[in-house]
């Protein structure tokens, strides 16, 4: 069941990242029960759609998704899987994309979705990124989190490969959130005439975040061993220390990593611990 953690900063980062990725009017996280659909978090604007909006589950486009409909459409009015959905009709939705949010036992508890009244195609690689971002939501709102860390011959590793992917997704979402705005959908080519420049900026942000993620994950490993913390707790402590001092997370992470081999490297007291 989705709870208060849906308002966690990392979940907000996921929404900002998804909004930039999709370019749709609205992205949202829903809660799904057997009978009910509810919008729990929302970024963007579309008349009649708001946080707290509650509908019978069978009226929602997300119900069609969970029943096996395609995960994305840019012509919902003529898509047999979605055309007669009451939600599609009520909000005049043309484009939709959705990815399930699952509890640790595999039960579907919600969705991460985007909707738009215009044609917005969703590429396969964008859908794959959404699926990765959903794992960040699952970690924060369903308790499906990684807790294992170990040192390997090639460096620090957080859990097994699946757990490592999850922690990487959390770090990446946080880093991207530092560069992206939460002011709604980004401009399209038809809106600004400068779509290529927006894409160049987005690619630059992603490249920077991917490079920074490596050192942040190394710092998580150092802190987890040094202070006997679970990976998520180590990440939260690093992020809190950086924000309280007005610094970038990846910049402080570099110092943490350096301190593992050089005790003279200065660190905030909450990150120093045993060295």
- pLDDT tens per residue, range 198-244: 555 655 665 676 677 778 888 988 998 888 888 878 888 998 999 89
Together in a domain, 184 and 214? yes
Instruction: Kindly report whether the global pTM for this prediction surpasses the value 0.75.
Output: no
pLDDT at 4: 54
Most trustworthy range by pLDDT among 72-81, 104-113, 124-133: 72-81
Give yes or no: residues 49 and 31 share one domain: yes
Q: Which of 192, 140, 135, 196 is nearest to 168 (CA)?
A: 135
Cα(120)–Cα(74) distance, rounded to whole angstroms?
A: 6
CB atoms within 10 A of CB 4: 7
* Whether residue 226 is found in the same domain as residue 245: yes
Domain end marker among 83, 116, 141? 141
Number of domains in the chain: 2
Residues 118 and 233 in one domain: no
Mean pLDDT of 83-97: 97
pLDDT at 105 over 60: yes
Shared domain for 238 and 149, answered yes or no, is yes
Please give the structure tokens belonging to residue 237: 């402590």
Indicate whether 184 pLDDT > 90: no
What domain range includes position 124?
A: 1-141
């Amino acid at each position: 069941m989705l709870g208060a953690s849906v308002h966690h900063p990392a979940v907000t980062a996921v929404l900002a990242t998804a909004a930039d990725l999709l370019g749709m009017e609205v992205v949202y996280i829903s809660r799904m029960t057997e009978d009910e659909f509810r919008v729990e978090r929302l970024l963007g604007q579309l008349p009649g759609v708001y946080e707290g909006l509650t509908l019978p589950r069978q009226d929602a486009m997300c119900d069609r998704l969970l029943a096996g409909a395609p995960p994305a459409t840019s012509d919902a009015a003529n898509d047999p899987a979605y055309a007669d959905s009451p939600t599609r009709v009520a909000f005049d939705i043309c484009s939709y994309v959705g990815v399930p949010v699952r509890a640790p036992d595999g039960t579907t508890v919600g969705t991460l979705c985007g909707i738009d009244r215009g044609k917005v195609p969703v590429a396969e690689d964008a859908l794959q990124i959404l699926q990765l971002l959903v794992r960040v939501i699952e970690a924060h709102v369903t308790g499906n989190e990684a807790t294992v860390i170990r040192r390997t011959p090639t460096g620090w590793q957080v859990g097994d490969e699946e757990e490592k992917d999850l922690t990487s997704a959390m770090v990446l979402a946080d880093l991207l959130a530092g560069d992206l705005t939460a002011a709604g959908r980004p401009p399209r080519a038809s809106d600004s005439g400068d779509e290529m420049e927006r894409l160049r900026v987005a690619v630059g942000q992603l490249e920077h975040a991917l490079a920074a993620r490596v050192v942040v994950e190394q710092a998580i490993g150092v802190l987890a061993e040094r202070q006997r913390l679970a990976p998520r707790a180590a990440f939260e402590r690093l992020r809190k220390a950086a924000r309280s001092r007005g610094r970038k997370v990846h910049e402080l992470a570099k110092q943490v990593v350096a301190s593992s081999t050089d005790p003279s490297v200065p660190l905030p007291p909450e990150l120093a611990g045993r060295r």
